[in-house]
Amino acid sequence: MRDFLAERLDVEREKVVPEAKLADLGVDSLMFAEMLFEFEDRANTELDIRSADALPETVGELITLIDAHLQAGGSTPSASPPATH
């Protein structure tokens, strides 16, 4: 995760520490959403974050959120049947 964030945010790996605030690393709400989508693609999973209150503020909180999801078995994307008209 540390390497993913350092690469994605174009910051030094040493700055990506648990107590680092995502905003201080340049993450705004749009970038956060983009990062989650990219992470989901790379990990072949879907994260369920429904509430703005659940959004992590620090690298550590983000890692905890993702770890909790993966430990709980995380959902894998399911193939949807094609839409019929």
For each of the chain's 85 residues, which pLDDT tens digit applies? 888 889 988 999 999 999 999 999 999 888 988 888 888 888 888 877 665 566 789 999 988 888 887 787 655 444 444 444 4
The reply to whether the predicted model has a pTM over 0.85 is no
Report the distance separating Cα 75 and Cα 73, nearest Å: 6
Task: State both tokens at 50.
Answer: 């429904």
| pLDDT value for 42 | 83
| pLDDT value for 83 | 44
Q: For residues 27 and 56, is the Cβ–Cβ distance under 8 A?
A: no
Task: State both tokens at 2.
Answer: 């540390």
Report the distance separating Cα 50 and Cα 72, nearest Å: 17
| pLDDT value for 51 | 58
